[in-house]
Amino acid sequence: MMWFSAAFWPFLRMTGVFLTAPILGSSSIPVLHRILMSALFASCLAAWGGPWPPLPDGDFAIVYAGILQISFGAGIGLVGQIIVSTIGSAGEIAGAAIGANFARTAGLSQSSNPPTLYNILYWAGMMVYLGAGGMFWTIAAVARSFHTCPTGVPSAVALLQLASYAGVILDSGTVLALPALAAALALNIAIGLANALSPSLNIFSVGFPVLFLGGIWVIGSSIFFIEPMVGHLMLAGAHKLSVLIQDGT
């Protein structure tokens, strides 16, 4: 039972991570492959050592403990998903400002077809996240959590901070999209004045291409701000993870 417990608890937490974490929780990876990778990570954690919580008595208690462990692992993986989704939301906000959200991306195994700019910035943020070692500190947080929170029951303060951290998807995403929003406003004002001074000007054949091309140029110029933004989000996410994996009992 000690050997079973050493593999059982890490497998449940890693299963939760594989539900929500970037790349690992991608729906393009078959479920069987994710189960096998979760078992592989769990065996590595089991060889690394515990402490592991004891197996509860009774079938209902084991199922309840399993749900807690999976939910706890999902919370750890959710931090990384929030970081990457924040960068993607900047692309969607900027695309809405310049009228580019009509372009949709299909064939990437999403439940719906997201805007193309969302996917471009999402994967740019994903590359920065992976390059900065985000996947490694997610796995390290799972390993560390068995020392600090073996029960898998975080405190109410940790859950509240994790919920509030999800707000950066809109806050930081809007900040990253601000150059495109400002450019779209300036271009719309200029196009409106040109149309008022020259009513014969076809605003749809001239104004929309100018707005679209100008917005794309500004977005391409601001892509260099993704790296410091991801670094700032990872520092904040590491703080939220440290609070989450503390024992709340």
Q: How confident is the model at residue 248 (pLDDT cuts 50, 70, 90)?
A: low
- 90 and 245 in contact (C-beta within 8 Å)? no
- Rounded to whole angstroms, the Cα distance separating 228 from 78 reads 20
**H/E segment holding residue 123:** helix 116-131
Closest C-alpha among 137, 66, 133, 99 to residue 216? 99
- What's the mean pLDDT in 217-229? 83
Its pTM stands at 0.81
Please name every residue paired with 115 in a beta bridge, in sequence order, or none if there are none: 104
Percent of the chain with pLDDT over 70: 90
**Cα–Cα dist 14/77, whole Å:** 9
Collapsing DSSP states into helix, strand and coil, what is residue 13?
Answer: helix
pLDDT digits (tens, 9 = 90+) for 38-89: 888 888 887 776 677 777 777 788 888 888 888 998 989 899 899 998 998 8
Determine the residue type at 151. Answer: T
Q: Where are the alpha helices (DSSP H) in 198-225?
A: 203-221
- The tens digit of pLDDT for each residue in 146-198 reads 888 877 788 888 888 888 888 888 888 888 888 888 888 888 888 888 777 77
Domain ranges of the chain: 2-244
Main-chain dihedrals φ then ψ at residue 96, nearest 5 degrees: -65, -30
Query: By the 8 A CB rule, do 164 and 78 touch?
Result: no
pLDDT of 2 over the 80 cut: no
